[in-house]
Structure 1
Amino acid sequence: MERKLRAYSLIKTLFVLVALANAGCHREVAMPPLPLRNITSTDKFFDVWPTSPTRAFVVGDRGKVLLTEDGGRNWKRIDIGTQLGIFGIQMTDDQNGYLCGQDGLVMRTRDGGKTWKRLDSRTHLFIFGLSFPDANHGFFVGDRALVLSTTNGGESFIKRHLQKIFPPEISDYALPYEEPVLYSTSFTDVDHGWVVGELGRIWATENAGKSWTEQQLSLLPQYKYPTGPNDDLRFNDFLLPTFFSVSFRDPKHGAACGLEGWVIQTSDGGKTWTFAHQADKPGAPPDTLVPGAPHFPARDPLFSIDLFGGDQGITTGLTGTVLRLQPNGAWARDPRVPAVPFTLSQARFFDALHGWIVGGPAGTILYTEDGGKTWRFCQG
């Protein structure tokens, strides 16, 4: 019995040695790393800026900046040296541009986006929007009623807080309405610009930001919000919906959109604004809904609006909402845009044919080269 156990032990040892020897005869095969994708399923994109029919920058969460030169077929990631979220970008020409985002982030490029330099914004507040009528004059807006302006390409900034000054006798009651967030700005030239934000704020300047006037008061007679017993009528204009985006095609014609899914329009530079009606599909008659009325059905918030060309417009929002401006002035749902269940943060057209829509959290980038008749999902 002992001899059998010894024999079994010897056979087992030989088997192990042979196995080790065979293993040593084979080289270890290195698996190639998975390719790093520039666009992933977790990306959140907040803004897009085209500089030609096929060239565009896309920015988003975690400091991501992408550039395409061929209409979104291929993408290059640009390392800007930060992981902060980027909420807005604008190129003033092929070489000069700016971006903004979290923690007071403001950056500038002078070489077509190859490199970006962080500028001293003098704030750590979130900056949500920007508008540059030329390479040197620009405005940024953000949290706590922040407005930054520069006349020298970001070498220095003037900082102000654009908010209503309340009389001393009601200042204590006005605390909830102080320092509203400002989300978007649009300048058609150095002098003429608009800012929109929280609690229905609309501000306008005609002298390059030296002075500002409120413009939302013309909306109050149209907004039939029922006041309650605890509502203070002195703050009625703060019951208007928050506006997230504003766009002007010239100093007279502009539009804004926001929280309750409404679009507002002006044809006189904002002296008067009107709520625009919507239609279920192109060619359908406008609805007859009353803004602010208690029976108002739920609509998706609208986060971006872009007026382009002589008479075109597009707005995007939550759960893939896309509306296009119709010849009768109404905004209709656009069935030609692929249905996605995600937020569409921004739409911008370079011209009447070439345009982009971006969003997330699924890394959504859409591109059209036929005026929106067809859209292509971009991957990379």
Structure 2
Amino acid sequence: MGIAMLGAAPRLGFCALLGLCWAVPAWPAGAVAAPESRPALVAQHPEKAWLQAVVRAGSRLVAVGERGLILYSDDAGVHWTQARVPVSVTLTAVSFVDERQGWAVGHYGTVLHSDDGGQTWRRQLDGVAAARIELAAAEREAAGNPAGGLAAEHPADGSPAAGPLAAERRAGAAAAEKRLAAARRLVQDGPDKPFFDLHFFDAANGIIVGAYNLAFRTHDGGRTWESLMGGIANPGANHLYAIRGTRDRLYVVGEQGLVFRSDDGGRSFGRLATPYQGSYFSAAVLPSGDLVVAGLRGNAWRLSGPGDHWTQIELPAPVSVTALAVDGRRLYFANQAGQVYASDADAAAPRALQLPPMPMLTGLLPLADGTLVATGLQGVARLAPAAAVPAAPAASAAHAGRAD
């Protein structure tokens, strides 16, 4: 997932910083469309732009990022081609279920779909439509939880209105009214809130999550969406940064130590107690089924079952983790300082890879030959297989991986 929440890159001198030149048409004064409805401009070197995530689409690689950029590569990331995209918003995450069907999400409540392996895209959802979907769901919930009926019918203490069932109904009505008020504000705010991540089970069923508790589900490949916001116990409307899982078990992680789990394919979510109350930006499910979460200041934890036991993962440096990746053999961590750590798939004792200095990284993709493809502030890079092996645990190597 792209870590847009860690702070945007400075816009002053952006092209000079990234070595990026954009082919910009001469728009008449006052005629420039909003980024959510303006096609992405063609870049001379899109592979050097700020990219947020990279995934497989069959044998193809697809990366997404700044200003509506979507790139694809058919030679394991050596060369990249810019796709045709109908928006210019920052795209934060991308997912493919096979070599053709894929989705990307991003700012302004954007959801895009491709059915040709990432070469062309069309918009399926935007922030305006998403807000209206949530408002309609909140109105239905409020209509089913009338606020004043019980108190008017049984005003005296000791009556049925004072019992546990009545208290539960009043609490439900209050929660429904709170959700309705928040949904109305969401509509009034306009399409200003991003989606951060997505999980598709197959070509029909998927879930997207984002800022301020945004959460939606589709059962028809994105043609229609329904709100999940009322089913996630997140009264503070904290950001939901990542979603990972298998066919039936899903995890959503976010701000202030939020970790939610669903054991029914996303139909319902329960909150898990966690040992760290800072933000989790990334999540990964290990081959064992255990969950790894990581976030602020290098805090990383492993959840093992049964019993939901949390074990801290000691990283070499207290730097915010921006991406996780697992390939069945190793677990990789990328951070805000451009460092990459690797451990065996059991997440024990991660060590720093021997890499040249890099800016902030946002995504990692392990390839079959051991190469790592990384996205970040300065585009996409291939990290050679030799570099993707952790350094021996000697004193000098350990010091090289620290930010002290």
Q: What is the TM-score with the length of structure 1 in the denominator?
A: 0.69
2:173 paired with 1:116:
no
Q: Deviations over 1:1-54 (max 9, x none)?
A: xxxxxxxxxxxxxxxxxxxxxxxxxxxxxxxx9x9633365x21100012356x
1:271-310 alignment, distance < 5 Å: 271-278=308-315, 280=316, 299-309=318-328
| Mapped contact 2:252–2:261 kept (Cα < 8 A) | yes
- CA apart distance, 1:186: 0.6
Q: Distance in 2 between matches of 1:307 and 1:270?
A: 23
Q: Deviations over 1:350-373 (max 9, x none)?
A: 44734311100x224234456824
2:276 paired with 1:201:
no
Which residue of structure 1 lines up, in the alignment, with residue 285 of structure 2? Answer: 248
- CA apart distance, 1:274: 2.1
Q: Distance in 2 between matches of 1:211 and 1:356?
A: 34
Cα RMSD (Å) of the superposition? 2.6
Q: For residue 115 of structure 2, what is the amino acid of its counterpart?
A: R
Q: Distance in 2 between matches of 1:112 and 1:364?
A: 19
More helix by share: 2
* 1:62 aligned counterpart, secondary structure: helix
| Mapped contact 2:47–2:71 kept (Cα < 8 A) | no
Q: For residue 237 of structure 2, what is the amino acid of its counterpart?
A: E
| Residues 329 and 92 of structure 1: CA distance in aligned 2, closer, same or farther (over 3 Å) | closer
- CA apart distance, 1:271: 2.4
Which residue of structure 1 lines up, in the alignment, with residue 363 of structure 2? Answer: 346
Q: Distance in 1 between matches of 2:335 and 2:252?
A: 19
- CA apart distance, 1:312: 1.4
| Mapped contact 1:163–1:178 kept (Cα < 8 A) | no
1:155-194 alignment, distance < 5 Å: 155-161=223-229, 163-164=232-233, 178-189=236-247, 191-194=248-251
Which residue of structure 1 lines up, in the alignment, with residue 372 of structure 2? Answer: 355
* 1:319 aligned counterpart, secondary structure: coil
Q: Structure 2 stretches of 5 or more lacking a match?
A: 1-22, 24-41, 131-190, 391-404
Q: Distance in 1 between matches of 2:225 and 2:111?
A: 11
* 2:337 aligned counterpart, secondary structure: helix
| Mapped contact 2:341–2:351 kept (Cα < 8 A) | yes
| Residues 322 and 270 of structure 1: CA distance in aligned 2, closer, same or farther (over 3 Å) | farther
Which residue of structure 2 lines up, in the alignment, with residue 134 of structure 1? Answer: 202
| Mapped contact 2:241–2:253 kept (Cα < 8 A) | yes
| Residues 40 and 113 of structure 1: CA distance in aligned 2, closer, same or farther (over 3 Å) | closer
1:27-176 alignment, distance < 5 Å: 37-39=44-46, 43-52=49-58, 55-120=60-125, 122-123=129-130, 124=191, 125-161=193-229, 163-164=232-233
* 1:264 aligned counterpart, secondary structure: strand
* 2:108 aligned counterpart, secondary structure: helix
* 1:320 aligned counterpart, secondary structure: coil
Percent identical across equivalent pairs? 22
Q: Deviations over 1:175-206 (max 9, x none)?
A: xx6100000001211x2110000111000001
Q: Distance in 2 between matches of 1:128 and 1:80?
A: 18
- Number of aligned positions between the proteins: 286
Which residue of structure 1 lines up, in the alignment, with residue 161 of structure 2? Answer: none
* 1:273 aligned counterpart, secondary structure: strand
1:15-30 alignment, distance < 5 Å: none
2:351 paired with 1:336:
no
- CA apart distance, 1:277: 1.9
Q: Distance in 2 between matches of 1:84 and 1:112?
A: 20
| Mapped contact 1:304–1:316 kept (Cα < 8 A) | yes
| Residues 265 and 77 of structure 1: CA distance in aligned 2, closer, same or farther (over 3 Å) | same
Q: Distance in 1 between matches of 2:214 and 2:306?
A: 23
| Mapped contact 2:355–2:387 kept (Cα < 8 A) | no
- CA apart distance, 1:337: 2.8
Q: For residue 133 of structure 1, what is the amino acid of its counterpart?
A: F
Q: Which moved more, 1:69-78 or 1:247-256?
A: 247-256
Q: For residue 196 of structure 1, what is the amino acid of its counterpart?
A: V
Which has more radius of gyration?
A: 1
| Mapped contact 1:318–1:343 kept (Cα < 8 A) | yes
* 2:278 aligned counterpart, secondary structure: coil
- CA apart distance, 1:334: 2.2
Q: Distance in 1 between matches of 2:305 and 2:69?
A: 38
Q: Distance in 2 between matches of 1:107 and 1:205?
A: 25
Which residue of structure 1 lines up, in the alignment, with residue 303 of structure 2? Answer: 266
